[in-house]
Amino acid sequence: MQLNETHDINLTSWVSSANDGKTDFPIQNLPFATFRRAGSSEAFRGGVAIGDQVVDLAVVAKLGIFSGLAQEALEAASQTSLNAFMAMGQAHWSALRLALSQALRTGSEHEQALSDALIAQAKVEYDLPCHIGDYTDFYTSIYHATAVGSLFRPDNPLLPNYKWVPIGYHGRASSIGVSGQTFPRPKGQTKAPDADTPTFGPCKRLDYELELGIYLGKGNALGESIALDDADEHVFGFCLFNDWSARDLQAWEYQPLGPFLAKNFASTVSPWVVTNEALVPYRLAWTRDESDPQPLEYLESTKNREQGALDIQMDVAVETEKMRAEGTPAAKLSQSSFKHSYWTVAQMVAHHTVNGCNFNAGDMLGSGTQSGPEHEEAGSLLELSRGGKESLDLGNGESRKFLEDGDTVIMRGWCEKQGFARIGFGECRATVLPAN
């Protein structure tokens, strides 16, 4: 994974909307999704974002303008899901990315042919980009872990294994939906601290979690592990991920086995998958405080130290029913960066498979809530409201401790660095409906 011509800040596209410096999807990005025309009965198929347009890969595959690995990858990426393309591996991913970059550049000989393959993003709808067979949610922000731990366990907020082991749990893939998802407020058991018995009913402390989703591409055989420095051969790309959480259900059920009904009712991903290769310019050195335990050998390498971190900026906003009725903008709640993560993506992959666990193409990892070192960088309402003790002023006469019915949570992500183009992830939004 190295810088190459696709990252050149001077590249422009004949798709003019890709050149305004504000779009999430300049030619240096080229993320993948599955889409169809909105309201149609067309089959979903693979697409690539460029400016405010989608390149219909099924149309491009029939043009015969690519060859070799790029054409093989194109045919796989034009299917109803991206799983087959994701399974091909880095050589095919890079070949198609390069071919698309060259074909979409200003002055390309393929401009006329590809013009007929463009559809405005405003006229499409999305499916999940791939079949997600399994999903594991990690817990990689030490700031989030410490803040939440102090609420649930004031005398012992950070358990001793946290600084040694990338903590994760097996989530529920079937309830992951694409941006635009709506879901009813979950119901379950809760127990007040002063009550003798639990009660059943709708969740009263509904929360979001601001996370990254990490899609796995090429898998590994059962019994084989993925070495730390080989993780890039298996990580296809990234999305925004909202891991909805029912905090009152969670407090009652999470011991001794961890999250269950508090997490499995809904999760939301952004439709576009930003490739691992597109993010190369935004890699950073990863460090571990000298006073903390240093990683065990299988989680330690020079490469991981030099380029294991990623500076992906993320923010979250809430849009209430009142805001929609009055036409006022959503209220921004917080902003953070994945660079604060205590564990890297490569460490998550290496640890997940060190016992022989096998990945399949399309499997997803959640990063865990991405909170920064400052309180205003918290990635959940649980932290921002200090466990429901403080209200957040939304600036329009409304306030929130936790989410109310009708609230829409909107997450965005982007990368920017001097000398490189700004690229983005699009939007991840979903709306809470009343309990059934």
Which residues, including other chains, have CB under 8 Å from residue 325's CB and lie 6 or more apart?
Answer: none
d(C-alpha 404, C-alpha 394), whole Å: 13
Least Cα distance to 267 among 400, 424, 135, 387 occurs for: 135
Strands in 13-141 per DSSP E: 32-37, 45-50, 53-56, 118-120, 124-127, 135-138
- Per the CB < 8 A criterion, the answer to whether 30 and 51 are in contact is no
| Sign for the pseudo-dihedral over CA of 269, 30, 99, 344 | negative
Burial class (CB in 10 A: 0-12, 13-18, 19+), 332: middle
Half-sphere exposure at residue 119, Cβ-oriented, CA atoms within 13 angstroms? 21
Catalytic positions, written as ranges: 144
State the Cα angle at 274 between 268 and 279, rounded to 5°: 130
- Per the CB < 8 A criterion, the answer to whether 242 and 180 are in contact is no
**Longest C-alpha distance within the chain, in Å?**
74
> Element (H or E) spanning 385, and its range?
none
